Amino acid sequence: MPTFSDLSRAAYCPRQLYYARRDDDRGPPPEAEARQALAFRYDELREADDETLADLPIDSSPVDYRDALDRLSTRPDWQQLCEPTEQEYYVEGKDCHGLLHKLLAGDPPVPTVVSPGEPPEQGVWEPQSVRAVAAANALAWERQREIPRALVEYPAVGIVREVELTCRRTAAYRRVLRTVRSMDGPPPRVDDSRCESCEYRTECGVKTRSLRSLLGF
């Protein structure tokens, strides 16, 4: 049974998941964990001084970051985001399992995914959408009730986006789930801009070269 992170990685590139499984390298890198940890310090960081914030892995100036958290604090679920009912809550569904970074109380409860990156201008990136749908479906299976939405937090920029379980998002999740279930060897290469930052680029054999290699370093 795949994990939420397996599905998220496969939504980005199935071949990358193949190599990560082969090498048993499926956890987030330390720098990603440091950025995700910011999601559990919103109250504290909203009051932090410039020097404190400058030492953190945020993606904006201290002033802009505090402003982002001030805007975030106007959400009706702000207190829940700061003090969730559960943290790192393990849930196992019918098709997948994994950790919910946060579980917010409510009727129904709201699962939350914490991303170390930045969001697009609108909505969320597909890997996070797939992970959020997977988390909501697993929680629905555990609680035996519909979970119609999830949240994706981008704490490095102080932004939270809502993910509704629409037909389109559910279809994308099921497509990725089928891909992962059927994986018994390396999937086809994608060979596009995703490869430039991939740690498996060399052994994958894609033609795309990094800027560093093009400059001769």
3-state secondary structure of 100: strand
Per-chain mean pLDDT for the chain = 90
- Does 213 have pLDDT greater than 50? no
pLDDT at 214: 36
Record the pTM: 0.88
Asked whether the beta carbons of 161 and 152 are under 8 A apart, the reply is yes
Cα–Cα distance for residue pair 90/109, rounded to 1 Å: 14
Convert the pLDDT of each residue in 105-129 to its tens digit: 999 999 999 999 999 999 999 999 9
Mean pLDDT, to the nearest integer, of 125-138?
97
Asked whether the beta carbons of 99 and 92 are under 8 A apart, the reply is no
- Does 217 have pLDDT greater than 70? no
Asked whether the beta carbons of 154 and 142 are under 8 A apart, the reply is no
Asked whether the beta carbons of 136 and 150 are under 8 A apart, the reply is yes
Mean pLDDT, to the nearest integer, of 210-217?
40
Mean pLDDT, to the nearest integer, of 163-178?
97
pLDDT at 189: 76
| Torsion angle in degrees (nearest 10) through CA of 162, 166, 169, 170 | 120
Cα–Cα distance for residue pair 99/119, rounded to 1 Å: 21
pLDDT at 207: 54
Closest CA relative to residue 11, chosen from 60, 2, 103: 2
Percent share of the chain, pLDDT over 90: 75
